[in-house]
Amino acid sequence: MHTSQKNILKKCDTLMLDMDGTILDLAYDSFIWLDLVPKEYAKKLGISLDDATAKLYKYFISLQGTLKWYSVDHWSDLLDIDIIKLHQMESAKIQYLPGAEKFLNDIKKYDIRVLLVTNAHGDILKLKSEVTGLDKYFDQMYVSHDFGAPKESQLFWQNLNDTEKFDIKRTLFVDDTEKVLDSARQYGIDSLVQITNSDSKQKQQIVKNYLGMTGVIELIE
C-alpha cells in the first residue's frame, strides 16, 4: 500500500533525499551523458556519432545499476575521456528542480534529520555543491561509493544504517528511480516517495508502485 501523503513528514525522524532527479534537475546529467559524452567519444575514436552512441549504449546496459555505472573514474578510464572536465565545462547547466531549494529551506522548521543519499560520485557531488550551495541544507551527505555498493544493493542500506543508525519505521526516503526505491523497500523502509518530474526536459514519469510527487515541495504544500 502506498504511503499516505497526509502528515507524512510528521511520522518521520529522518528524511533521506536523493540528489539527481529529486533535488537537482536531471536534465544536466542527461545532457552530459546522452549528448556531450557521445560527441566526445565519436571525436576520440574518429567514428560517427551513431556508432559512438551504439558502443556507449552497450556499456550503459552492461553496467547499469552497478557502482561502476556511477563512477566517473571508471568511465574516464574506459573511454579515455576526462569526464569530470566535461561536467565542469557545462556546470552552468546545474540547476535545482522547481521548488526544491524552497523545500530545503522550509524543512529546517521541522525537527527532522535531513540526509542527502546519492549514487553520484564524490567529485560530482563536490562540483554540484560548489555550484548550488547544496551542502548547507543537509545534516549529512552520503555517497554510495563510500559504502562499496549502489543504492540498488542491500549492502548499501546495511552499511548506511551501520553508520547513520536510522529507524527504518521513522524514515522517509525520496528518490526518482523505481529500482532504488525497490531496494529501500526490501530493506524495510516503509515511507517512500517517487519523484515524477525528475528531468525538466522530459515527460513526467508514470508511477505505479509508490506515492508519486512532481517535486519535493509537495511534501509541505
Kindly report, residue by residue over 36-57, the tens digit of the pLDDT.
Answer: 999 999 999 999 999 999 999 9
Strands (E), 80-204: 113-118, 140-143, 171-175, 191-195
Residue 185 CB-half CA count within 13 A = 18
Beta partners for residue 63, in sequence order:
none
- Position 1 scores a pLDDT of 36
- Selection from 1-5, 38-42, 108-112, 201-205 with the highest mean pLDDT: 38-42
* Mean pLDDT for the stretch of residues 76-83: 96
* Mean pLDDT for the stretch of residues 139-148: 96
Measure the CA–CA gap between 120 and 30, rounded to whole angstroms. Answer: 14
Tell me the pLDDT of the chain averaged across its residues. Answer: 94
Coil vs helix vs strand at 73: helix
pLDDT (tens digit, 9 = 90+) per residue, 101-130? 999 999 999 999 999 999 999 999 999 999
| Whether 168 contacts 154, CB under 8 Å | no
Among residues 99, 90, 74, 75, which one has the least CA distance to residue 127? 90
Helix axes 178-187, 154-164, angle to 10 degrees: 60
Sheet with 211-213, strands from edge to edge, namely 140-143, 113-118, 14-17, 171-175, 191-195, 211-213
For 48, 116, 119, 138, the CA distances from 62, given in Å and listed in that order, are 22, 27, 17, 33
Among residues 76, 97, 68, 96, which one has the least CA distance to residue 32? 76
Q: Which fold has domain 8-26+95-219?
A: Rossmann fold (3.40.50)
Q: Which residues contact 23 (CB under 8 A, 6 or more apart)?
A: 17, 96, 97, 100, 104, 116, 134, 216
* Mean pLDDT for the stretch of residues 12-21: 97
- Sequence ranges of the domains in the chain: 8-26+95-219, 28-92
Position 196: which residue type?
A: T
58-67, 110-119, 176-185, 212-221: least confidently modelled range: 58-67
